[in-house]
Amino acid sequence: MSRMRVNPAREQASTPVMAAGTLAKPMQPGAPMEPGIPMEPQGPMEPEAQIAPQMADELAAREFEGMVAANRPHIFRLLLASTRDVDLAETLTQECFLKAHRSWGSFRGESSVMTWLMRIAINLEKDNWRNRRLQFWRQTRTHAVDVDEASEWLPSGERNAEQQLLAREQVQHVWRAVEKLSGRQRTIFLLRYVEEMELAEIAAATGLSEGTVKAHLSRGLSKVRAEVGGAR
């Protein structure tokens, strides 16, 4: 997925995202940006931009809105599979797109938007895990569902009851194996076998080398293989 390049003036004057597909009032052109976001040098403005800055804002907002709509389910799915907590996955997805919106102007398109978003989501999940460890007394409740409950989800398809039972058992075993994986191994495993990303994309999303990704994937897969094989 490649991102359409728009005028830098438009990129900086985009709108904050409040919820999926819901965009707040556009910022006024020239409004102060969030700290930490690099400002692109603005040369002499093109005649189009001078004439219709409002239109540029709307275009940028629509572009971001389209990006959110296209990628939100994937980000939500990864976070849901990582945390097994629907509420937390929703919160982190929201935070992910908020961060993406803040950095949207500095995104150079070196990787795909999806990879970039995945990277933000992975970092958010990591931060959340660290914070959770420190904030035990503030957040004693976890909404994460257990492995058995997570395994209940199966598309009905054209399967008979026996096949569904078998599939549920297999899913249960994979969940159990995934539960035992380290955080990094789990992320890589989910990116590969749930999001079906290529190794290079996973490497870009996790900030690791392809070799490291391969090694983690191999270790993770061998654990899954042992769990699935041990069930027989």
Partner 1 sequence: MNLRNSRTPEPMRLEKPGLEKPGLEARGLETQELEAQEKELNQALANFRQSVHAWSEAEYSRPRSLAPAAPHRSWRTASAWALGCVLAAGSLAGGLYDRHHHQELAAAAAREARAQQSAAEQQFQAAARQQDEKLFADMDRDVSQEVPSAMEPLAQLMDETNP
- Report residue 21 as tokens: 């597909």
Q: Considering beta carbons, is residue 113 or 194 the nearer one to partner 1? A: 194
User: In the range 125-154, which residues lie near partner 1 by CB under 8 A?
Assistant: 137, 140-141, 150-151, 153-154
158 counts as binding partner 1 under rule CB under 8 A: no
Contact indicator for 200, 213 with CB cutoff of 8 Å: no
Nearest approach, Cβ of residue 64 and partner 1 (Å): 19
Q: Of 171, 177, 187, give the one whose Cα is nearest residue 225.
A: 177
- Identify which range of 24-32, 38-46, 116-124, 217-225 contacts partner 1 by CB under 8 A: 217-225
Among 27, 33, 49, 174, contact with partner 1 (rule: CB under 8 A): 174
- Sketch the per residue contact string, 59 through 98, with partner 1: x for CB under 8 A, - otherwise: -------------xx--xx--xx----x--x---------
Q: Considering beta carbons, is residue 47 or 157 the nearer one to partner 1? A: 157
Q: Considering beta carbons, is residue 38 or 153 the nearer one to partner 1? A: 153
Q: Considering beta carbons, is residue 50 or 139 the nearer one to partner 1? A: 139
Q: Strands (DSSP E) along the chain, which ranges?
A: 17-19, 22-23
Contact indicator for 106, 37 with CB cutoff of 8 Å: yes
Nearest approach, Cβ of residue 152 and partner 1 (Å): 8
The long-range contacts involving 182-188, CB below 8 angstroms and separated by at least 24 positions, are 183/126, 183/129, 184/208, 184/216, 185/216, 185/217, 185/219, 185/220, 185/223, 186/82, 186/220, 187/82, 187/122, 187/125, 188/213, 188/216, 188/217, 188/220
> What is the rounded (10 degree) CA torsion for 96, 183, 127, 214?
-60
Q: Considering beta carbons, is residue 101 or 173 the nearer one to partner 1? A: 173
- Report residue 171 as tokens: 């899913």
Question: Pairing mode, if any, of strands 17-19 and 22-23?
Answer: antiparallel
Total interface residues for partner 1 by CB under 8 A: 38
Residues in touch with partner 1 (CB under 8 A): 72-73, 76-77, 80-81, 86, 89, 137, 140-141, 150-151, 153-155, 167, 170-171, 173-175, 190, 192-196, 214, 217-218, 221-222, 224-225, 228-229, 232
